[in-house]
Amino acid sequence: MRRLVLGLAFAYLLFAVIGRFVEGMGAVRCDCTESCWCKRPVLSTFRWVAPVGHRS
């Protein structure tokens, strides 16, 4: 069970980093306002794996 949870956490973080990399290449762009949670430095890594609660 522990191995499954760690594997899922690793996959989540891997997808978050890949999303940030793709965004850095300019392939995708977030159109939220500047006050959205996804514009903060650390949280911006997770904007593509947690696409809920954005402010348009």
- Average model confidence (pLDDT) for the chain? 88
Surface-to-core class of residue 19, CB atoms within 10 Å of its CB (0-12 exposed, 13-18 middle, 19+ buried): buried
Given the structure tokens 């191995």, which residue do they identify? 3
Could you tell me the pTM of the whole model?
0.75
If phi > 0 it is left, if psi is from -120 to 50 it is alpha, else beta; for residue 30 that is beta
Which pLDDT tens digit goes with each residue over 8-31? 999 999 999 998 899 889 998 888
Q: For residue 55, count other CB atoms closer than 10 A to its CB.
A: 11
Q: 25 or 52, which is more confident?
A: 25
Q: Where are the domains of the chain?
A: 2-46
